[in-house]
Amino acid sequence: MNIFFFILGNNILPIFLLIGAGYILSKKFDLDIKSLSKLNFYIFVPGFIFVSLYTTVIPFEMIKALIFAIIILFINMSVGTIIPKIRKYDPALTNAFKNSLMFYNSGNIGIPLITLVFSSGIYAINGETPYLNMAVTAQIMVMMVQNVSVNTIGFYNGGRATLHWTDSVKKILRMPTIYALPSAFIAKALPFDFTKMPGWPGLEYIRSGLISIALITLGVQLSKTKFNFSNKKVYLAVAIRLIGGPIIALGLILLMGFDGIIAQALMISSSVPTAVNTALIAVECDNAPDFASQTVMFATLFSAVTLTFVIFVSRLIFPVAL
């Protein structure tokens, strides 16, 4: 029980304090969410990915992590297709429901959470955190799949099936993350140590800043969501995302033979709440926006409890020698 409360206090509480700070600041000063989003997508996320990939040795297991993220995406898509058919949802709600299960907050919450968990004292050895880079790299594989798919499949699910394929390609090509990934691998292949270059400390600052700016941005986004405590469809989507997500992930992790740190990271990653982008897509496409926004809000709130439990359980199922 002590370890459970340690996880809650040291891994979950810091995240929600920053989300809460963003929420309160936005209510008081009406912060511009578009500017904050641009800071995330065009500076902090690609900078974080570049530095993390460049400074981390990437084992073959990370290719498996990438495959895992793709498979679980389509499993969630199947679940999100079957349940609305059984419950006879209308097309708009069906698409919003499907997005709420498929796309989770692998960036704004996933990266900070994985960083906090695997840099905590639980995983420290002689004051060092040897597993942090491996766990973060696995999370980056997941985030890459999620970022690309939410901006393509997500928009189609949001009612834009008539979007020309060239427009979809343009949307993908505008994502700096797409360029950060190959740039990091190219830099690793070159006979230079970029960490010795004069501008490298600036990239390190960007990497360090992602956690706080991402969580504050999430709080600002959530501050613009209205509460509705009577929508049972929202609770169903939240339950499947927060409870069904880690159960599905656990089965796939065991099937693919993951263990140790990577298994823990993938299980935790698959347990984070619905991505805020699903609400933004629903608003832009006028596709059940109230349902989508409420799902993001309640999934984020309830994840304070479920994530604590999943982190605790993942350590029991996939132990690591410390």
pLDDT in tens, 32-79: 887 887 888 788 888 888 888 888 777 777 889 999 999 999 999 999
Q: Angle at which helices 91-102 and 289-317 pack, to 10 degrees?
A: 30
Chain segment 92-125, per-residue pLDDT in tens = 889 899 999 999 988 778 888 888 888 876 766 6
What is the three-class DSSP state of 1? coil
- Res 73: pLDDT: 96
Looking at residue 57, which CATH number applies to its domain? 1.20.1530
H or E element at residue 85: helix 61-87
Q: Is residue 96 part of a domain?
A: yes
pLDDT, mean over the chain: 85
Amino acid code (one letter) for 174: R
- Res 167: pLDDT: 66
Q: Is residue 263 part of a domain?
A: yes
Residue 162: pLDDT band (50, 70, 90) is: very low
Q: Is residue 34 part of a domain?
A: yes
The count of structural domains within the chain is 1
Q: Does pLDDT of 309 surpass 50?
A: yes
Chain segment 183-199, per-residue pLDDT in tens = 988 999 999 899 999 99
- Res 281: pLDDT: 74
Name the DSSP class of 10. Answer: I
Nearest to 174 by CA among 155, 201, 196: 155
- Res 124: pLDDT: 61
Q: Is residue 128 part of a domain?
A: yes
Q: Does pLDDT of 314 surpass 90?
A: yes
Entry pTM: 0.80
Longest Cα separation, the chain: 60
Give Cα separations from 225 to 279, 284, 292, 321 (angstroms): 9, 15, 10, 43
What residues contact residue 319 under an 8 Å CB cut-off, 6+ apart? 260
Q: Is residue 6 part of a domain?
A: yes
CA 150 to chain centroid, in Å, comes to 11
Q: What average pLDDT does range 210-235 have in this prediction? A: 83
163 against 149, higher pLDDT: 149
- Res 235: pLDDT: 95
**How far apart are the two ends of the chain, measured CA to CA in Å?**
20
Q: Is residue 87 part of a domain?
A: yes
Q: Is residue 322 part of a domain?
A: no
Most confident of 121-135, 207-221, 228-242, 279-293: 228-242
Residue 161: pLDDT band (50, 70, 90) is: very low
Tell me the residue range of the domain where 141 lies: 2-317
